[in-house]
Amino acid sequence: MLIISPFCAAENTQKIVLIQDIYVQWIEMEHQLNIENIDVLYRSIQSYLNSESYRIYRFMPFSTAFGFGHTDPNEIYEITAVSELLESLRCAVLNGDHEEIKEISNNISGNLIKALTWDSLAEQFTTGAYIRLFLILFSIIVIAVIIIIFLNKELIFSLRREEEGSIYSRAVLLAQERERSRLSRELHDTIAQDLRYMSLEMNKISRTAEQTEREKLCSEAAAFQSGLICKVRDICDYLVPPDFRFLGLPDAFRRLCLDFRNRTGIDCRIDITGEIKQDFLDEEKQLQIFRIVQEALTNVEKHAQATEAIVMLRCASCNTTSSITCKDTGGVLSVGVSDDGKGFNVSGVEKGAKHLGIRGMNERAAFLGGSLTINSEPGEGTLVSFIMEKQ
């Protein structure tokens, strides 16, 4: 066995760490083989095998596994073989067997040349692997940054929508409270007062002795009661939507225009073109469209200071001539409410709590999958248009 001095091994550890140095050292000592030179070369090989560069190389599974077909832990087997051959060479030198020395020397030279080739290829492949690994990591970082930016935008958008939804919910609650207060005042100022007046008139009947006067009071009370019933029906009609199982959208618009004209004194006309097929709109969609028109007429009553309003209903199918482009699946429903009022600046209207009616119409239009547009100029009146294509 070849015995190596620990001191000598440590001494050479830092001097020789490359296969090229080992090969040069072998060339220099090949023609002067002796025990001392063999021991020095053996220590050089052990120094290389224990070096940091070789340990890093051995723990890189992608280097020789893919580049050279090795499946075991990365090794340059030829350099290990040289280490074993040196022991045999030392014994041959001690025995003076020249034939064996020559054969072993040739094997050592061949293994060193192969080891030198593998080392060069491994270095090239490892360099490329580092570049590929860097590019992969860089790509992963870029993708991660893009995903983080996208998720951040989605989070900001979600928080903004949540905030808007919260504002809208508060606005709806406030609107509901205002509507309840309005209904309470209206019931108190109209129905409650009329009932009180009827109570007083009924007391008069019980205190009146003359038949003629009593009949007159009874007739007035009956007429007053009829009027009171009409007022209650008007309030119910405004709050409760039409039953679209028995009443179509055109008839519902006619009743809405008639009630609007009787209640406000504003001339309200209806313009209907085309026929709405039974399968075009279900009850829910008809109700949403009805509420859009109802809200538009409410805005005319509150803000427009108009003398005339027109409710337009157009239903165009693909087999009719129309200025509206139809889809192959059916047709287009167009609803509009126009007035000759004072108008307003549309660009200054915000879809927030301050303009809850317009916000509500836009929400209903989005639910129906249609588009709502408002065209108005100060002094030029207003046109609210809703268009929905049959799905």
**What is the rounded CA–CA span in Å between residue 12 and residue 21?**
12
> By C-alpha distance, which of 376, 293, 381 is closest to 333?
293
Q: Which pLDDT does position 141 carry in this prediction?
A: 94
Neighbours of 312 (CB within 10 A): 18
Domain range summary for the chain, segments of one domain joined by +: 6-143, 244-391
Residue ranges in the chain modelled with pLDDT below 50? 1-14, 16, 61-73, 318-329, 351-353
* Residue 191: how many other CB atoms lie within 10 Å: 14
Question: In CATH, what is the architecture of 244-391?
Answer: 2-Layer Sandwich (3.30)
Model pLDDT, residue 326: 37
pLDDT score at 116? 80
The rounded distance, in Å, linking the Cα atoms of 322 and 274 is 10
Amino acid letter, residue 386: F
pLDDT confidence of residue 144: 93
What single string gives the DSSP state of each residue in 83-140? HHHHHHHHHHHHHT-HHHHHHHHHHHHHHHHHHHHHHHHHHHHHHHHHHHHHHHHHHH
The reported pTM is 0.46
Q: Residue 175: its pLDDT value, please?
A: 67
User: In 10 A of CB 112, how many CB atoms?
Assistant: 24
Both tokens assigned to 61: 């599974």
